Amino acid sequence: MQIINNFIDGELIPPSSQQFLENVEPATGNVYSQIPESNRDDLSHAVAAAKKALPEWSGMSIEDRARILTRLADEVENASDELAKAEAIDNGKPISLAKAVDSYRASANIRFFAQAITQFSSESHSMGNEGINYTLRDPIGIVGTISPWNLPLYLFTWKIAPALAAGNVVIAKPSEVTPMTAFLFSKLCVKAGLPRGVLNILHGSGGNIGQAIVEHPEIKAISFTGGTATGKKLAATAAPMFKKLSLELGGKNPTLVFADCDFESTVNQVVRSAFANQGQICLCGSRIYIERPIYEKFKEAFLRQVEDLKIGDPLELSTQHGALVSQPHMDKVLSYIELAKKEGGQVLTGGERITLKGRCETGFFVSPTVIEGLPLSCRTNQEEIFGPVCTLQPFDNDDEAVSLANGTEYGLATSVWSNNLSRCHRLAKQLDFGIVWINCWLQRDLRTPFGGVKASGVGREGGLEALRFFTEPKNVCVKY
Ligand code: NAP
């Protein structure tokens, strides 16, 4: 049984209460490690350590800070195989995906922001002969980051890297469901020589230590990624305290396939966009709208590929579809499949729990599920399922495609598949989402603004947006 520890003031230590939670391997359903159930005493310890570390870290030259973060990125890159394996065990995702996406992006995030901070600048506004304004952008101080289980180290580093690069000190809480890679990461921080107290990692449940972080008066900003309901709760706590808040929340993303798309590559990419990470990526396209002339042909090709996805042990290199992250999450996904049937949907493929032979016999596997015959208004098409479930529906023209796509409370990401570029640009303007992909999906440039509109969030991460979030602008007006 592995024991996970908190990371406070540069030390790996158990929670002060000595209370631990069980951590389950999704592919087997077995408990394989224990994680700290941190409390407010642990938080006070972490805040004191962060406070002590702040003057030196925020006052350090940008080059020195960037050098330390680059060393950390190197350590993460060197450990990428170990991290990918740990992520596959902890989360249930295929190890090939964990290597190509999760551990790759963890080091890329840190390297990117280590460089970005050396290029960051602030504005000045001339008042002609009267004077000049210039903007100072200083670190906020102690900031909190709270991240989810679907891309554990990827999203954890996506937050802490810009926060640290901008000169803040951080109290970070990974998801209690997938704590392992953040724990391994804390060891890499020690190896890379990150000064003590600059980053503190507290493990435990959201309702306890997560809520305590949001409530703490000395933590001045919160960067959160997770579900919309949790985001609402966080905002209700943080807003009256006037904390800076970045919320990256849920989605119900539409995929628009037009008759003039590149058929083969579109089918490939739309399968990937619906089922990568077992559909547990906030950007996955779970509502697939297909222009009527190719609806039947597309459906047939799509189903063929979906049925070919290799479901198996996440630790096998050939596996394409692993386990869902937990029993409660699997139960939720299965309950949505039942709901879809009650709402009149026809399950074209999948729709059930899978029992594998051998090591993974009791794991949380659900087959990739495709449903048709449901209207936009039903719960299956309105609520985020966050699993391997998508719906298909035909449309007849551009206007109908846009109105179907925009017809939920969410607005995170969408993709458009067509060779008519003028249509693609027109639709990109009309689609009410933070991210529009044209003939691609999950193609990422870390300099671009990332985030959603409507119930999918407030604020943007990525590039300069993240550095702006993690700094406080101050205008200085000088009269000549
Ligand atoms: P979640 O239940 O909202 O949890 C997210 C994080 O918040 C976890 O670390 C959780 O801790 C913590 N938390 C829970 N209650 C809290 C509270 N009262 N105060 C402070 N922290 C609290 O989301 P999830 O199930 O982990 O992740 C799936 C959701 O994330 C989906 O809705 C998905 O769309 C969304 N997501 C969005 C993006 C994006 O960029 N927009 C990216 C990835 C995922 P515990 O795990 O310990 O409960």
- At 282, is the secondary structure helix, strand, or coil? coil
State which of 230, 435, 460 you would mutate to test the pocket of ligand 1, scoring each by most atoms of that ligand within 8 A of its C-beta.
230
From residue 73, give the alpha-carbon distance in Å to each of 95, 121, 202: 21, 23, 21
Report how far apart the first and last C-alpha atoms of the chain are (Å, whole number). Answer: 68
Q: Specify the fold of 2-249+456-479.
A: Aldehyde Dehydrogenase; Chain A, domain 1 (3.40.605)
404 pLDDT tier (thresholds 50, 70, 90): very high
- Which residues lie closer than 8 Å to 264 by C-beta, 6 or more apart? none
**Nearest-atom index, ligand 1, CA of 251:** 34
Q: Which residues of 112-125 are buried (b: 16+ CB within 10 A; e: fewer)?
A: bbbebbeebeeeee
Instruction: Give the pairing type, strands 6-8 and 2-3.
Output: unpaired
pLDDT for res 271? 98
| Active site annotation includes 282 | yes
468 pLDDT tier (thresholds 50, 70, 90): very high
Q: Which of 87, 176, 189, 282 is catalytic?
A: 282
CA of 104 to the centre of ligand 1 (A): 22
Contact status, residue 215 vs residue 193, Cβ threshold 8 Å: no
303 pLDDT tier (thresholds 50, 70, 90): very high
363 pLDDT tier (thresholds 50, 70, 90): very high
Instruction: Please list every protein residue whose CB sits less than 6 Å from any atom of ligand 1.
Output: 146-150, 155, 173, 175-177, 205-207, 210-211, 214, 225-227, 230, 233-234, 248-251, 282, 384, 386, 412, 452, 457
* pLDDT tens per residue across span 84-117: 999 999 999 999 999 999 999 999 999 999 999 9
| Active site annotation includes 248 | yes
Average pLDDT, the chain: 98
Contact status, residue 53 vs residue 46, Cβ threshold 8 Å: no
pLDDT for res 416? 98
Nearest CA to ligand 1 atom 14: 206
pLDDT for res 430? 98
| Count of other CB atoms within 10 angstroms of residue 385 | 24
Q: How large is the average pLDDT for residues 366-395?
A: 98
Domain range list for the chain: 2-249+456-479, 253-445
CA of 280 to the centre of ligand 1 (A): 12
157 pLDDT tier (thresholds 50, 70, 90): very high
- Which residues lie closer than 8 Å to 314 by C-beta, 6 or more apart? 26, 27, 88, 89, 91, 92, 93, 94, 95, 98, 322, 323
CA of 472 to the centre of ligand 1 (A): 26
Q: How large is the average pLDDT for residues 113-137?
A: 98
CA dihedral 475, 478, 479, 480 (to 10 degrees): -140
CATH of domain 253-445: 3.40.309.10
Q: Which amino acid is at 73?
A: A
